[in-house]
A and B are shown apart, each in its own frame.
Chain A
Amino acid sequence: MIRILGYRLLQAGMVALLVGSLTFVLMRSLPGDIAWRIAAGRYGYDRVDASAASAVQQELGLDRPAWQALADWFIQLLHVNPGNSLVSGAPVMEEINHQLGQTLLLAAVALLLSLLLGPPLGILAGLAPGGKLDRLLLAISTSLRALPHFVLGLILVLIFALGLGWLPAAGYGEVQHVLLPALTLALGLAAVSSRVARNAMRQVTDSAWYQFGRTKGLTESQLFWQHGLRNVSVPLVTYLSVQFIYLIEGVIVVETLFAWPGIGHALVHAIFARDVPMIQGTALIMGLMFVLLNTLSDGLCYWLDPRRKNP
């Protein structure tokens, strides 16, 4: 376990190094004058003139050599301070703090909803492979996974906000605002996790040790809850870590569609405004989130799977 944690820590360091340098180089290599772009981000493009752009350039020291700016960023990062936003002037940490909280909330609700929807249905389908539920679930999960996030999101808005009037179409601040964006992410996640659960369940029920449990006189209920569920969980949790990519990439689209003020939304806006420290900060946090989530799922698998402890 300690080895896993050490490895993940090293990975986090590499992510910081790579994400920080890559975003910096990519943003610097975009065409156009960065000072003009930042000034447009601050004041609106048609309020920008040469004097505003040159004031921005002076204030931010944008004429410094690029390597110096990057080195400064890394030094600041060592002090856990990724600098200030070039547009709002507020510390990046302060801005990310609010936005990260909103993203984590969205991601957590999405994960929870996907766990409530996907694995239970998958397990039911796996218990009766080839049955009606199994076939229906295959059709639904294939369609859901094939739909891009924004299409799925729009369909949900059309049904739940326009059609039924149950939920707000977009926005944030109230409990009900989180449901549609989270459901958009959750349905895509559940589409796959239900299949993984279904196959795992089938493998478990077909296994010799499950059959042995039955012959030694355990009831079906005891069999499932004592032996089945835990064994189904290992491949499921392993698969969840793969799905985090889907979750993190989906967050960007879903946040923009639902006007959710999260970190994906912040990243898109920072790119438009060429707000380099914000881009570096948000990309870094997203990278680190990925490492953290993978570490958590590794830990969970380690705890769930007794074979790893007693090889």
Chain B
Amino acid sequence: MQKFVRPPLLVLMLAAAALPASAAPERIATLVAPFEIKGTDPTLSGDIFLKMSIVETLVNADSSGQPLPGLATNWSVSDNGRLWRFTLRPGVKFHDGSALSAESVVNALEVSRSKPGLLDKAPVTAIRAENGQVLITLSQPFTPLLSMLAENRAQILAPASYDNSHKVVQIIGSGPYRLTSLQAPQKLTVTRFHDYWGHAPAIEQASYMAVGRAETRALLAESGNADMVLNLDPASRSRLKNNRKIELMAVSIPRSVLLKVNAGHPLLNDARVRQALSMALDRQGIARAILRYPAAADQLFPPSVAQWHNPGLTPLVYQPQQAQALLEELGWKTGADGILQRNGQPFTLTLTTYPDRPELPLIAAAIQQQLRDVGIQLTINTTNSGEIAAKHHDGTLELALVARNFALTPDLLGTLLQDYAPQGGDWGAMNWSNATFNQTLADLVQGRNVAKSQTERQQLTRILQTELPAIPVAWYQQTAAVSKRLSGATLDPFERTFGLENMRWSE
């Protein structure tokens, strides 16, 4: 009976089996990272457009965060530090064929300044065009300005990018690549811009894909479907290490896992308590077991941030006995339940963290155990990231575990100013203030004594290391799997660019 049915069914099944088609078209460099494209507005997804070399900024940054000429070839600042004058690069064209002009730069920066970001926090009083130059007037000297102009939200778009209400309706940049398709939230494609002012990139076409799941990203790298995959999870890194078609890359980035401390809390207002907490942390163990790379932080800033990493500091190390001794000195005695007690009050605190970075709740659990070993009881509250800032503002935060990106601007000063200003910052100090620190930071921001700036930075890091308004735990690494079909790939510690224009096909 079956023979009557079998032939047509077999045809159907064979048709289904024959569907697999050829691989993706060759010679399109495929870059994959977890960052979703939220829209055309630079405040939402500006980093992707900068990373894919579609847009440019007035100022660029080198791998140590030092300013480099971008769309501005040079700049000068007046003696009183309040007027910056930028000379624009000649012969720059936007992707719609229009020429870069001082007016178009002013327009882009004014739009950027009107939105939440960094430029709106700079003491800028006016931005204007004069004789083909861009002039920025400040109400007070402000050295992080260059760094803020290098940030993706200060990207320079052609006037045709904006509608009448200053909304960005299309991305018309001036970079070596122009946008050919944008399929938010996951994909965009670019092609080489032939009228680019700089050297012509070797790669003609590229695509960017946002892939949220780390396993999927790793599989894309392993299967050869992606040429460069960023943000690998520890398990995938271990597996990809043995793949001969892939080169694994890693760079230390200015992002640190830290314990944000409410220094105004009765249990935490003594710097010695914060030092004891710091001594109780086995950072090596946390880095090895959870992050799976040797990145225990012995100070706030990693060595990759040369200007801010201070090798002269006494490193933060794991000394649980000393931690206990220090707490004893401060009047804490171990109770019957193993928890420290003082005047009948147990040493218990709540640690708030968030799962946006999946390693944070794990690190929080390790910290909970390590502090328990010295007699401090932690309750972990894993909630959404906004809770930390909200609790900072209503004063109820005790401890928070956060992953802080110090490289919002290539010069860390911009971020430091937000986090460790006298009134504290959502992701930095809370109820902590140090007169010397404040004065030194203000001097550095205003550039009062450029010759002494490195000494001033060291002064700031020394105070942070001693007073511990934030207790460093680990440094982050950016990791990538790069197909050996590509050469010339590098990782930017400031995550401004994927470096597409410097890559080439190696076959």
Asked if A113 is at the interface (CB within 8 A of a chain B CB), the reply is yes
B384 touches A37 (CB 8 A): yes
Complex Cα distance A259/B213, Å?
8
Measured between alpha carbons, how far is A113 from B16 in the docked complex, in Å?
Answer: 7
Is B444 part of the binding interface, using a Cβ–Cβ cutoff of 8 Å? no
Q: Does B67 contact A (CB under 8 A)?
A: no
Chain A residues within an 8 Å CB radius of B38: 41-42, 87-88
Asked whether A162 lies within 8 Å of B4 as measured between CB atoms, the reply is no
Q: Which of B24, B36, B184, B385 has the most CB atoms of chain A within a 10 A radius of its CB?
A: B385
* In the complex, B438 has a CB within 8 A of chain A: no
A256 and B184 alpha carbons, distance in the complex (Å): 15
B187 in contact (CB, < 8 A): yes
| Chain B proximity of A211: nearest CB distance (Å) | 13
Contact B384 A32 (CB under 8 A): yes
A39 touches B386 (CB 8 A): yes
Is the Cβ of A176 less than 8 Å from the Cβ of B427? Answer: no
Q: How would residues 405 to 427 of chain B score, 1 for a CB under 8 Å from any chain A CB and 0 otherwise?
A: 10010000000001000000111
Check B21–A43 contact: CB distance below 8 A.
no
A167/B20 contact (C-beta < 8 A), A36-B389, A43-B116 known: yes
- What chain B residues lie within 8 Å of A311 (beta carbons)? none
Q: Is B212 an interface residue (CB 8 A)?
A: yes
A3 within 8 A of B: no
Check A89 against B427 for contact (C-beta < 8 Å): no
A169 touches B223 (CB 8 A): yes
Q: Select which of B39, B41, B116, B402 is within 8 A of A52 by beta carbon.
A: B116
**How many residues of chain A get a CB closer than 8 Å to chain B's CBs?**
65
Closest chain B residue, CB of each to CB of A182: B19
Tell me whether B116 and A55 are in contact (CB under 8 A).
yes
> Does A1 sit within 8 A of B, measured CB to CB?
no
Which residue in B2, B186, B386 is a CB contact (below 8 Å) of A37? Answer: B386
Q: Is A261 in contact with B186, judged by CB distance below 8 angstroms? A: yes
**CA–CA, A168 and B187, complex, Å:** 15
Give bound CA distance, A157 to B223, whole Å.
9
Question: CA–CA, A63 to B433, complex, Å?
Answer: 33
Known: A37-B386, A50-B389, A127-B1. A257 touches B213 (CB 8 A): yes
Distance to closest chain A CB from B66 (angstroms): 23
Of A74-82, A115-123, A139-147, A300-308, the one touching chain B = A115-123
Pairwise interchain contact B210-A259, C-beta atoms closer than 8 A = yes
Residues on A with C-beta less than 8 A from B290 are none
A43 touches B44 (CB 8 A): yes
Is B6's beta carbon under 8 Å from chain A? Answer: yes
Asked if B435 is at the interface of the complex by the 8 Å CB criterion, the answer is no
Is A127 a contact partner of B43 (Cβ separation < 8 A)?
no
What residue of chain B has the Cβ atom nearest to residue A127's Cβ? B2
C-alpha spacing A55/B36, complex, angstroms: 22
The proximity string for B residues 174-210 relative to A, scoring 1 for CB distances below 8 Å and 0 otherwise, is: 0000000001111100000000000000000000011
Q: Which residues of A contact B213 (CB under 8 A)?
A: 256-257, 259
B451 at the interface (CB under 8 A from A): no
Tell me whether A128 and B404 are in contact in the complex, defined as CB-CB below 8 angstroms, given that A88-B38, A259-B212 are known contacts.
no
Q: Which residue of A lies closest to B220 (CB)?
A: A169
CB nearest neighbor in A for B181: A173
Q: Which of B21, B216, B390 contacts A259 (CB 8 A)?
A: B216
In the complex, A154 Cα to B215 Cα: how many Å? Answer: 9
Contacts A124-B6, A259-B212 given; does A36 touch B390 at CB 8 Å: yes
**Residue pair B216, A169 in contact (C-beta under 8 Å):** yes
Contact A46 B223 (CB under 8 A): no
Q: Is the CB of B9 within 8 A of A32?
A: no
Residues of B within 8 Å of A173, CB to CB, are 183, 187
Option from A43, A50, A167 in Cβ contact (under 8 Å) with B43: A43
B110 in the interface, Cβ–Cβ < 8 Å?
no
Q: Assess whether A48 is interfacial by the CB under 8 Å rule.
A: yes
**Which residues of A lie under 8 Å from residue B212 when comparing CB positions?**
256, 259, 269
Tell me the interface secondary structure of chain A in the complex.
helix
Q: Which residues of A contact B343 (CB under 8 A)?
A: none
The residues of A that contact B185 with a CB separation of less than 8 Å are 261, 266, 269
B219 part of interface (Cβ distance < 8 Å): yes
Of A42, A113, A172, the contact of B187 (CB 8 Å cutoff): A172
**A48 touching B426 by the CB < 8 A rule?**
yes
Task: Closest A residue to B408 by CB, please name it.
Answer: A47
- In the complex, what's the smallest C-beta–C-beta distance from A235 to chain B, in angstroms? 18
Decide: A161 and B385 in contact? CB cutoff 8 A. Answer: no
Residue numbers in B under 8 Å from A160 (CB-CB): 20
Residues of A within 8 A of B9 (CB): 120-121, 123-124
Q: Check A290 for interface membership: any CB of B closer than 8 A.
A: no
Q: A176-B22, A257-B213 are in contact. Are A46 and B418 (CB under 8 A)?
A: no
Specify which of B15, B43, B216, B405 is in contact with A257 (CB 8 Å cutoff): B216
User: Are A33 and B387 in contact (CB-based, < 8 A)?
Assistant: yes
Identify A162's interface contact among B5, B183, B223, B403, CB under 8 A.
B223
Q: Are A116 and B15 in contact (CB under 8 A)?
A: yes
Q: Is A215 positioned at the interface, with any CB of B under 8 Å from its CB?
A: no
On chain A, the residues within 8 Å of B13 by CB distance are 116-117, 120-121
* Complex alpha-carbon distance, A87 and B212, angstroms: 17
Report which residue of B215, B216, B387 has the largest number of chain A beta carbons within 10 angstroms of its beta carbon.
B216
Nearest chain B CB to A100's CB is how many angstroms away?
14
Cβ contacts A167-191/B at 8 Å (1 or 0 each):
1111111111001000000000000
Given A31-B384, A172-B187, A220-B4, the answer on whether A259 and B209 have CB atoms closer than 8 Å is yes
Does B383 count as interface, using CB distance less than 8 angstroms? Answer: yes
The verdict on A33 contacting B386 (CB below 8 Å), with A42-B38, A175-B21 known, is: yes
Residues on A with C-beta less than 8 A from B20 are 160, 166-167, 176, 179
- Bound-state CA distance A33–B394 (Å) is 12
Given A88-B39, A165-B223, A259-B211, CB of A172 within 8 Å of CB of B186: yes
B393 within 8 A of A: yes
Cβ contact within 8 Å between A170 and B116? no
Is A174 within 8 A of B6, CB to CB? Answer: no
Instruction: List 13 A–B pairs whose Cβ atoms lie within 8 Å, in order of A's numbering.
Output: A45-B356, A45-B385, A46-B403, A46-B404, A50-B393, A88-B44, A116-B16, A120-B13, A124-B9, A165-B23, A170-B219, A257-B216, A269-B36
Could you list 15 further interchain pairs (A-B, Cβ under 8 angstroms) beyond the known A116-B13, A166-B20, A224-B5? A36-B386, A36-B387, A39-B386, A43-B44, A43-B116, A120-B9, A120-B12, A121-B9, A161-B223, A162-B219, A169-B225, A170-B216, A173-B187, A176-B22, A259-B210
- A residues neighboring B (CB under 8 Å): 31-33, 35-37, 39-43, 45-53, 55, 87-90, 98, 113, 116-117, 120-121, 123-124, 127-128, 154, 157, 160-162, 165-176, 179, 219-221, 224-225, 256-259, 261, 266, 269
5 smallest CB-CB distances across A and B, nearest first, come from A36-B386, A221-B4, A120-B9, A45-B385, A52-B116
